[in-house]
């Protein structure tokens, strides 16, 4: 499978004086068709890792390759273009623009890319039927439910057919039904088109949709779990096992 992003020996240190080492020599490769979930206790560096992997943030040390090219050999504008063309971001708080309708929110990146009006409308309507938000296209975000807003945010991320979806706690503001609906959408894209998914969650049930689990502890990769031939349910139980062992470790550390 073709490599999209590879991160080698990543170290991230915050602060001039206190020097908080948030990522401590982590490695990860994301290929086409991958579905990777990052888990770990609060403050373990999950968001930082996701931001560094998706070129939103830069590491203090280490190498990030995007499409096999070192991002430090590219101009910032080039990296921004790659990111814009290849990655669809889905955030926990949706990040929709309140003054735009759902239709306008979903199409915004195509407008910026100078795609014609007719084509934008067709693509927007197709994807919104798929995500069950067709009937709210001409409403504003504050007239929609949380689930509808999250699906609109996902539609906005998916409409450009990105090679990679990056999602930080995408179900954090959703109820169970809407959470599973969102993950099924990700899963379908992953299976049908080989779209790679890189996601952070603290929910073992949500993590069980992934094909690979990376567990962070204190900025280090503590465990990597491949789903292999396991069913989603079997994988879920393995994840629960690991998360409960990790919680046990935390208790031990606290004495």
Contact positions toward Mg ion, by CB under 5 A?
Answer: 46-47
Q: Are 212 and 35 in contact (CB under 8 A)?
A: yes
The answer for residues whose C-beta is within 8 angstroms of residue 174's C-beta and 6 or more apart is 146, 147, 150, 182
Adjacency order of strands within the sheet including 69-70: 20-31, 3-14, 61-66, 69-70
| Closer Cβ to ligand ADP, 62 or 147, answer by number | 62
Q: Are strands 69-70 and 87-91 parallel, antiparallel or unpaired?
A: unpaired
User: How many whole angstroms separate alpha carbon 121 and alpha carbon 88?
Assistant: 19
Applying CB under 6 A, among 22, 36, 167, 206 the residue interacting with ligand ADP is 22
* 26-65: contacts with ligand ADP (CB under 6 A): 40, 42-48
Binding site partner of 123, from Mg ion, ligand ADP, none, Cβ cut-off 5-8 A by kind: none
Nearest residue to Mg ion, by Cβ distance, number only? 47
Binding site partner of 224, from Mg ion, ligand ADP, none, Cβ cut-off 5-8 A by kind: none
- State the minimum distance, in angstroms, from the CB of residue 50 to Mg ion: 8
| Closer Cβ to ligand ADP, 40 or 170, answer by number | 40
10: which strand partners?
A: 26
- The residues binding ligand ADP (CB under 6 A) are 14-15, 20, 22, 40, 42-48
């Amino acid at each position: 499978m073709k490599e999209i992003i590879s991160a080698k020996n990543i170290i991230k240190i915050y602060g001039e004086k206190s020097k908080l080492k948030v990522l401590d020599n982590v490695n990860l490769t994301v290929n086409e068709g991958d579905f990777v979930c990052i888990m770990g206790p609060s403050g373990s560096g999950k968001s930082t890792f996701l931001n560094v992997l998706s070129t939103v943030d830069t590491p203090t040390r280490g190498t990030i390759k995007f499409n096999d090219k070192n991002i430090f050999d590219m101009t910032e504008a080039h990296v921004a273009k790659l990111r814009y063309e290849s990655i669809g971001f889905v955030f926990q708080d949706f990040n929709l623009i309140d003054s735009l309708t759902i239709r306008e929110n979903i199409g915004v990146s195509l407008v910026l890319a100078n795609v014609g009006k007719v084509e934008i409308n067709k693509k927007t309507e197709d994807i919104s039927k798929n995500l069950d938000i067709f009937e709210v296209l001409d409403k504003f975000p504050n007239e929609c439910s949380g689930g509808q807003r999250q699906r609109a945010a996902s539609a906005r991320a998916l409409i450009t057919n990105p090679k990679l979806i990056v999602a930080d706690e995408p179900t954090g503001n959703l109820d169970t039904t809407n959470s599973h609906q969102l993950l099924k959408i990700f899963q379908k894209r992953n299976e049908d088109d080989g779209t790679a998914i890189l996601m952070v969650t603290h929910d073992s049930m949500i993590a069980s949709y992934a094909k690979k689990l990376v567990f962070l502890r204190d900025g280090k990769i503590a465990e990597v779990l491949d789903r292999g031939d396991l069913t989603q349910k079997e994988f879920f139980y393995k994840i629960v096992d690991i998360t409960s062992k990790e919680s046990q470790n935390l208790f031990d550390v606290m004495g």
